[in-house]
Amino acid sequence: MNGPEALAGAPSLSLVAEFREVILKMRPRADAELMERACDVAARCHEGQLRRSGDPYITHPVAVATILAGLDDIAELDDQTLCAAVLHDTVEDTPYTMAALRREFGARTAAIVAEVTALDRLGRRPARNPAQMLTTITSADTRVVAVKLADRLHNMQTLQFMPQATQLRKAREVLDTFLPVAQQLSMH
């Protein structure tokens, strides 16, 4: 079997190693073992899942964490935040539980993932009001907002794989809600 299906069948050791190398280059003091463990768990949890592009799903949380690792100007972006970025979709999209996440990665990482998940759910409400969303997001913990913004940035980078109506809706949501938040946090 070749192509994305073959890659999705097992956690990619090269992806974990590459992620570890990138994180340590961007943040030399990062807890490499913690990052590797988070990546291993996320890869196992997302095993067999593909993005609309056909890429193994694990490429998304790794990209989100890599985006965050490159942000030097936000002091709150610590190892737990990067770990939460790697794990941000595990509880919502896989059988992995919040209790397991808390046990394996600590209460702080679990709290960030829980709050990112809550922001995701807020955005899916049919009668969502951009002003309400903006207020909710700006009142959230900076680490949570940073993970959500990096998540949305990576989703925008891969938007071409979505139906056109979804592309337009997501782009409008970014312009109305996420861009003002990113500007407020100086996340250009």
User: Mind telling me the catalytic residues?
Assistant: 92-93
Nearest to 148, CA basis, from 93, 67, 73, 70: 67
Q: Which amino acid is at 32?
A: A
Q: Do 112 and 120 form a contact (C-beta atoms < 8 A)? A: no
3-state DSSP of 133-149: HHHHHHCCCHHHHHHHH
> How many CB atoms lie under 10 A from the CB of residue 55?
16
Q: Do 81 and 68 form a contact (C-beta atoms < 8 A)? A: yes
Give the tokens for residue 125.
Answer: 């409400």
3-state secondary structure of 56: strand
